[in-house]
Amino acid sequence: MVTDKFLTIFYTCDSCGINERPINVKAREKDENIVRWIEQVTICISNDHSRVSPDCRAERMTNVKIPISGADQIGGVINN
């Protein structure tokens, strides 16, 4: 879901039992570099996970779900 330049993504942590936790992240702009955007999403996931499960020391998250706009635009690209 894309809302006012933000979208909801989901992640799972098998180590602490978080399952498909929704978080809002900044949506990817039309020409925004996908690698830089994914790096920012990774930071958002890490920060959220640290906040909701501070004792977990998982080294990876699984089942990260990111919406695709149209047929090929990962990250809810916003067309202005």
pLDDT at 17: 93
- 25, 41 in Cβ contact below 8 A? yes
Domain positions in the chain are 2-74
Q: Dump pLDDT digits (tens) for 48-76.
A: 999 999 999 888 888 999 887 665 667 66
Whether pTM > 0.75 for this model: the answer is: yes
Contact 1, 7 (CB under 8 A): yes
pLDDT at 25: 94
The pLDDT tens digits of the residues spanning 17-58 come to 999 999 999 988 878 888 999 999 999 999 999 999 999 988
58: tokens are 């998982």
Q: Give yes or no for a contact between 34 and 74, defined as CB atoms under 8 angstroms apart.
A: yes
Position 4 scores a pLDDT of: 64
Beta strands 6-13 and 73-74, pairing class: unpaired
